[in-house]
Structure 1
Amino acid sequence: MGYGSNKKKRGEELSAAGWESIYCSLVLILVAFFALLVSYSTIDGGKVTNFKRGYEGSSNNYSRGLSANRIVENPIYTGGTAIQPSISGISENEKASIASIMQSLKEYYKQMGLGEYVNIEWTHEGFKINFETNILFAPGLSTVNRESYPYLDQIITIALKNPFFIRIEGHTDDVPINNPEFPSNWELSTARSVNVLRYFLKNKIPAERLAAIGFSQYHPVKSNDTPEGRQANRRVEIYFQLQKKQGLNLYQGIN
């Protein structure tokens, strides 16, 4: 009896010691795990915040880009006052020369009675001229009106003297078009911008300095719910982008 009792007692002691060892190991593992979590949150908290901000910004930009009825706002104009944007790589003197070009074009189109239909604005690339399409084209057609040649000739004079890259964008309203020549507004807007480009090519503007693109109805500047809004959305925008990398630095006006 004494031997058996002692054997049983030693077994219980060994069993208790084993559980204590396992328990201590488990506690150490849990402590290490929670320490790792605290360390991770301290180090990468900023990264998580930055990721969240970046994701939210990307989501907002993506949703804005998908909106077919999004109104394109000009960030360079506030309350009708022209603000010169920050354009890297050019001096203040060159910016002043570009401003002079813009002013001379504004005065010309105003003298021609087009002040209401032609807008000239700064962009972050340089500047742009916005023609309502009734100035350049007959309704539903893409051939440039002969009567509008002098208006484009002013641009040609500027382009031949200055190192601008010229991008021509065609835009329409949301009224559907469907005929053998233009199955949709995509074809109409693109054909109009390309025909302006062809006129520039014909008048010796180098092809490598030209590009044309059509946006159909998907970049309105005003609501298409009114006749005035649709008229404003039917437009051709001609962008003048600076080309400093070519080493040209003279910006000359019309005269």
Structure 2
Amino acid sequence: MRRRRPPQDDIHNKERWLISYADFITLLFAFFVVMYSVSSVNEGKYKVLSETLTGVFNAPQRSFQPIEVGDQPPRPEVGPSQDIIPSAVAEAPRNPEQETQERTEALRTMADQLSMEFDDLINRGVVTLETNDQWLALNLPDSLLFGSGDAEPHYDAFDVIEKIARVLKNRDNAIKVEGFTDNQPIGTSRFPSNWELSAARAAAVVRMLGMDGIEPERMAAVGYGQHQPLARNDTEEGRRRNRRVVLLISRDASIRGVMR
């Protein structure tokens, strides 16, 4: 007697559980991937993201009173006894020598403030501060800001930059941030040479200063790679001294004129 084959629809209905099972396994895998990524957050990136979001959500709300079509915007009332004096006429011309002297004194004040902020590190020889009448240079070792071969600031770097920003705020002095490396080749996909690494580190410091309230138009980032060493690169101590970030702060406001 010929056996009847079960209907094709019954076979499909019995195997539909495999689809649900496969979906469950896929969702479970995605869940563990998300949990792993959350557990290995880079502290430097998290700090940058956190401070950026805080600045966005805490920004004061602004509203404007709309002007109806056909209406004229209100004009300030000027009384009969008020005189409109151009600012160029109202302000007396300043003595260039006096202004230069005032800016030189302000630069020395900033040098004293930075010296106080980094007193312990300067005494230990970790940080150096050079100054004259035209500029001051704050020399920071790369280990104070970055990990080895990386341009992503580690968590402690933000405290260092905040100290510097407190001194530089509410001024107009130009700031050039210079990045330097030793002569050891790096050759990664992100940094093909020390040029890219030094420039990326200088740009990272500029970005952090901007987050702390320093105006972007005052700053510039420059990478020198391995080509401006302080010491010989044939010793570990010499290479350590050559890996550095220097903040060059000018007496003047022109960023294009910052020279050493």
The answer, yes or no, to whether TM exceeds 0.5 is yes
1: CA distance between counterparts of 2:133 and 2:149?
32
SS at 1:164 equivalent: coil
CA deviation after TM superposition for structure 1 residue 96, in Å: 3.3
CA deviation after TM superposition for structure 1 residue 227, in Å: 1.0
Structure 2 residue aligned with 1:234: 243
After superposition, the C-alpha distances for 1:42-76 in whole angstroms (9 at most, x for unaligned) are xxxxxxxxxxxxxxxxxxxxxxxxxxxxxxxxxxx
Structure 2 residue aligned with 1:253: none
User: Unaligned regions of 5+ residues in structure 1, if any?
Assistant: 1-87, 247-255
CA deviation after TM superposition for structure 1 residue 123, in Å: 4.8
Q: How does 1:28-107 map to 2 (within 5 A)?
A: 90-107=99-116
User: Unaligned regions of 5+ residues in structure 2, if any?
Assistant: 1-96, 256-260
| Distance change (3 Å), C-alpha of 1:218 and 1:124 | farther
Q: What letter is aligned with 1:188?
A: L
2: CA distance between counterparts of 1:218 and 1:124?
27
1: CA distance between counterparts of 2:183 and 2:133?
28
Equivalent position to 1:168, from 161, 177, 198: 177
Structure 2 residue aligned with 1:183: 192
CA deviation after TM superposition for structure 1 residue 90, in Å: 4.8
Instruction: Indicate conservation of the 8 Å contact 1:223/1:229, yes or no.
Output: yes
Instruction: Indicate conservation of the 8 Å contact 1:109/1:115, yes or no.
Output: no
| Distance change (3 Å), C-alpha of 1:159 and 1:183 | same
| Distance change (3 Å), C-alpha of 1:214 and 1:245 | closer
Structure 1 residue aligned with 2:206: 197
Is it true that 1:155 corresponds to 2:164 in the alignment?
yes
Q: What letter is aligned with 1:143?
A: E
Instruction: Indicate conservation of the 8 Å contact 1:90/1:244, yes or no.
Output: no
SS at 1:153 equivalent: helix
Structure 2 residue aligned with 1:45: none
1: CA distance between counterparts of 2:224 and 2:113?
29
Equivalent position to 2:138, from 116, 129, 135: 129
1: CA distance between counterparts of 2:217 and 2:102?
26
Instruction: Indicate conservation of the 8 Å contact 2:121/2:127, yes or no.
Output: no
SS at 2:150 equivalent: coil
SS at 2:246 equivalent: strand
Q: How many residues align?
A: 159
Instruction: Indicate conservation of the 8 Å contact 2:198/2:223, yes or no.
Output: yes
2: CA distance between counterparts of 1:164 and 1:130?
18
CA deviation after TM superposition for structure 1 residue 180, in Å: 1.1
Q: What letter is aligned with 1:234?
A: R
Equivalent position to 2:151, from 126, 129, 142: 142
CA deviation after TM superposition for structure 1 residue 161, in Å: 2.1
Moved more, 148-157 or 88-97: 88-97
Structure 1 residue aligned with 2:127: 118
2: CA distance between counterparts of 1:139 and 1:245?
33
Higher helix share: 1
CA deviation after TM superposition for structure 1 residue 110, in Å: 2.2
Q: Whose Rg is larger?
A: 1
2: CA distance between counterparts of 1:205 and 1:224?
34
| Distance change (3 Å), C-alpha of 1:156 and 1:223 | same
CA deviation after TM superposition for structure 1 residue 132, in Å: 0.8
RMSD over aligned CA atoms reads: 2.3
Structure 2 residue aligned with 1:69: none
